[in-house]
């Protein structure tokens, strides 16, 4: 009798099982296992005048505490690949340097961590992060500089002569800032509420929202929208594609408004008769108070100051 061979349909399953068994150690060797705490930090430093941080993916929180003179650093670092990262810190003179150090290991793995820092209210801060969140509160300084590749920068109750903020892609958020603020984002969102000073805010693509600025505002967007409320004085506002809208806005001698395509709509508390106007629109309408026109609008009020505006396709409107 001739033996009959059965064509087994279990081979694909067996093959998958074998591959799974072979790949599992490889996956874990590449760092896709469970997170575990690989470093804990609890340190104090004295006579610190400046903190310089390169935080990578770490979340960083700094809080200034009234009357505190020492700097307290606590934190944890978790990783699926022990040895891949380590937080290094040391004093160099009166400067505390903190750095997330990456080892040269194959594979990426999963990692997360947080640094909590509390110290004097008066201190100089320079933070450069990769993809984490940086939060600063209750700080007074001559200069504050924060940079992030992709992530989030948050500032609350911060005072400095200059506050320089930049993200590649992400969000910058500030509340109750004293000083001149410069904020830039490649793509993302800028949000500020209560700036006692001037502001220069630029975004390549995204949204800018500002509220309560006591100084002068300059802003530029390649594509996106600018929303303003209670700004003491606007100077040069420019958007290539998008809209500019404002409520309770002050005009000034250097007010310039431009949009390639979109709408500019400004409600101002300034006396419209205090300025001359020179508005140009390729296709669309321009309007100042009760005066409106298609294409262009010039109003001469005998003022030494002329507000200029241009829009290729869209509209410009200024009213009380």
Domain edges within the chain: 57-64+121-319
pTM over 0.85: yes
Tell me: the pLDDT tens digits for 226-243? 999 999 999 999 999 999
> In this predicted structure, what is the pLDDT of residue 83?
85
Cβ neighbours of residue 259 closer than 8 Å, sequence gap 6 or more: 238, 239, 240, 241, 242, 243, 244, 310, 311, 312, 314, 316
Q: Are the C-beta atoms of residues 250 and 271 closer than 8 Å to each other?
A: no
Lowest mean pLDDT among 19-28, 69-78, 244-253, 289-298: 19-28
Q: Count CB atoms within 10 A of the CB of residue 43.
A: 12
- Torsion sign over Cα 205, 257, 271, 299: negative
> In this predicted structure, what is the pLDDT of residue 107?
58
Closest C-alpha to 233, from 254, 210, 209: 254
137 forms beta bridges with: 63, 156
pLDDT band at 66 (very low <50, low <70, confident <90, very high): very high
236 CB-side CA count, 13 A: 6
CA distance 237 to 201: 10
Average pLDDT, the chain: 90
């Amino acid at each position: 009798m001739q033996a009959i061979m059965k064509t087994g349909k279990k081979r694909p399953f067996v093959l998958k099982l074998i591959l799974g068994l072979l790949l599992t150690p490889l996956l874990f060797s590449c760092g896709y296992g469970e997170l575990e705490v690989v470093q804990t930090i609890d340190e104090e430093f004295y006579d610190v005048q400046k903190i310089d941080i390169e935080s990578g993916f770490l979340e960083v929180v700094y809080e200034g505490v009234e009357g505190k003179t020492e700097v307290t650093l606590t934190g944890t670092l978790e990783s699926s690949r022990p040895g891949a990262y380590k937080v290094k810190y040391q004093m160099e003179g009166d400067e505390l340097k903190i750095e997330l150090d990456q080892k040269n290991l194959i594979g990426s793995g999963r990692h997360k961590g947080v640094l909590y820092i509390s110290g004097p209210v008066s201190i100089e801060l320079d933070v450069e992060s990769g993809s984490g969140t940086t939060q600063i509160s209750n700080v007074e300084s001559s200069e504050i500089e924060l940079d992030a590749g992709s992530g989030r920068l948050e500032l609350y109750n911060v005072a400095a002569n200059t506050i320089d903020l930049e993200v590649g892609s992400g969000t910058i958020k500030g509340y109750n800032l004293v000083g001149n603020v410069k904020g830039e984002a490649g793509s993302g969102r800028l949000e500020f509420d209560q700036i006692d000073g001037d502001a220069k805010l630029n975004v390549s693509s995204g949204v800018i929202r500002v509220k309560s600025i006591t100084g002068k505002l300059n802003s530029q967007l390649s594509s996106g929208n600018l929303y303003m409320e209670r700004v003491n004085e606007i100077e040069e506002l420019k958007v290539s594609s998008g809209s500019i809208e404002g409520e309770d806005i002050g005009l000034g001698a250097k007010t310039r408004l431009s949009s390639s395509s979109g709408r500019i709509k400004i409600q101002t508390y300034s006396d419209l008769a205090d300025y001359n106007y020179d508005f140009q629109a390729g296709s669309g309408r321009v309007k100042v108070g009760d005066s409106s026109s298609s294409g262009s609008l010039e109003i001469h009020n005998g003022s030494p100051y002329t507000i200029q505006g241009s829009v290729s396709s869209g509209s410009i409107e200024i009213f009380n």
